[in-house]
Copies of this chain bind each other. A is one copy, B any other.
Amino acid sequence: MGGVSHPRSRRVSAGIVGGSGYSALELLRLLARHPRLELKWIFSRSHTGEPVASVYPSLRGVVSASFAPVEEPAALAGQADVVFFATPAGVAAEQAPLFLESGAAVVDLSADFRFRDEETYRRVYGKSHPHPEWLASSVYGIPELFRDELAHARLVGNPGCYPTAALLALAPLAREALLDPDAPIVVSATSGISGAGSQPGPAYHFPGATENVRPYGVPGHRHAPEMAAVLGRLVPPGKSAPVLTFIPHLVPASRGILATCVARPAREMPDEELLERYRRFYASHPWVRVLEPPELPQTKAVQGSNFCDLAIRWDPVAGVVVAMAAIDNLVKGAAGQAVQNVNVLMGWDEREGLEVVPLYP
């Protein structure tokens, strides 16, 4: 039950650009209890000057700050050691360099810095990147896969929620070139509706969303090329990763991603071997829990926390492995991972400020 020790000295200051969505709310929730990272300012064009707690009733009595009384985030450059972008696509691409040049580290929760080459970005997002010169130095922010690079990073492309779950489920096989490159990987995943953001819309209106399950964005969801690109980096040099199809579904829950990944391994893989490989791969990573059979992941067991729960099974009839991952899309899939990335950047214990116990039931 020990936990991280919490010296209150040497606090690092943090700013948040884009304060009106769920990722910002989660960042606020986590920073409120982070022993080393302190909210310095938060910017939202739609809430300039308002008390944070009047926008987010859950934070009343917890966060006393107000949204920065400025018109443009640029006015805040130089006023925080770390800047989180929790903004729609395109904003960080434009504005992150300003903060980087002022000496801050930047963690971008949008997709603007997730691709290393501009061409892929352009293909997926349909426009050219305004600051392609920063792409090469950005690091994809899954600490369990890229910890060493992140330790020296200044700019982090915080991953999408689906890719986080799918890549953690597939990485131990990909890293060892154990996936048959000729068989397509199938990633079928469900997401709680908070994954679609805080903006109301017909598909997220409670009466139609409750008691409903629906696939969407099939094929062509932007997280598919993100998964494929990172998978390609995970396989050993000279090897190629399998192609991948991705089918996301909305389910009637607020939070939680369950990613079910099916792949054909290069050879038969009994459960014991799979389990042993996964255990070893994640042994030094406090936020991944490899479950003991017969346990399978469930999204509620990680609710509100930074954990990723994993299970892996061999299906002898179909000759495939089934890797299943559960995360809270707003924590390990967004704000929690962003804080974890800062912990790595700063050389702190990866658990700092993230020790929220999952809320169950």
Give residues in A with beta carbon < 8 Å to B: 1, 3, 5-6, 8, 22, 25, 29, 31-33, 38-39, 56-65, 183-186, 188, 190, 192-194, 198-202, 204-216, 218-219, 224, 228, 243-245, 247, 249, 251-256, 258, 260, 262, 264, 286, 289, 291, 295-305, 307, 309, 313-320, 322, 324, 326, 355-361
A14 to chain B, nearest CB (A): 11
Q: Which residue of B lies closest to A313 (CB)?
A: B218
Q: How far is B224's CA from A188's CA once the two chains are assembled, in angstroms?
A: 17
Task: Please determine whether A200 and B210 come into contact, CB atoms closer than 8 angstroms.
Answer: no
Contacting residues, chain B, for A244 (C-beta < 8 A): 317-318
A60-B208 contact given A186-B188, A214-B258, A258-B215, CB 8 Å threshold? no
Contacting residues, chain B, for A25 (C-beta < 8 A): 360-361
How many copies of the chain does the oligomer comprise?
Answer: 4
Task: Please determine whether A33 and B318 come into contact, CB atoms closer than 8 angstroms.
Answer: no
A1-B219 contact given A213-B299, A357-B33, A359-B303, CB 8 Å threshold? no
Task: Please determine whether B210 and A22 come into contact, CB atoms closer than 8 angstroms.
Answer: no
Contacting residues, chain B, for A193 (C-beta < 8 A): 206-207
A245-B209 contact given A62-B357, A296-B218, CB 8 Å threshold? no
Contacting residues, chain B, for A60 (C-beta < 8 A): 289, 291, 301, 309
Task: Please determine whether A318 and B184 come into contact, CB atoms closer than 8 angstroms.
Answer: yes
Task: Please determine whether A360 and B289 come into contact, CB atoms closer than 8 angstroms.
Answer: no
Q: Which residue of B lies closest to A3 (CB)?
A: B33
A357-B253 contact given A208-B300, A322-B218, CB 8 Å threshold? no
Contacting residues, chain B, for A243 (C-beta < 8 A): 317-319
Q: How far is B357's CA from A31's CA once the two chains are assembled, in angstroms?
A: 10
Contacting residues, chain B, for A58 (C-beta < 8 A): 300-303, 305, 357-360
Contacting residues, chain B, for A56 (C-beta < 8 A): 360
Of A63, A303, A319, most buried by chain B (CB within 10 Å of CB) is A303
Contacting residues, chain B, for A320 (C-beta < 8 A): 184, 186, 245
Task: Please determine whether B1 and A313 come into contact, CB atoms closer than 8 angstroms.
Answer: no
Q: Which residue of B lies closest to A318 (CB)?
A: B245
Q: Which residue of B lies closest to A298 (CB)?
A: B214
Task: Please determine whether B198 and A200 come into contact, CB atoms closer than 8 angstroms.
Answer: no
Of A1, A228, A358, most buried by chain B (CB within 10 Å of CB) is A1
Q: Which residue of B lies closest to A201 (CB)?
A: B200
Task: Please determine whether B254 and A251 come into contact, CB atoms closer than 8 angstroms.
Answer: no
Q: How far is B302's CA from A106's CA once the two chains are assembled, in angstroms?
A: 31
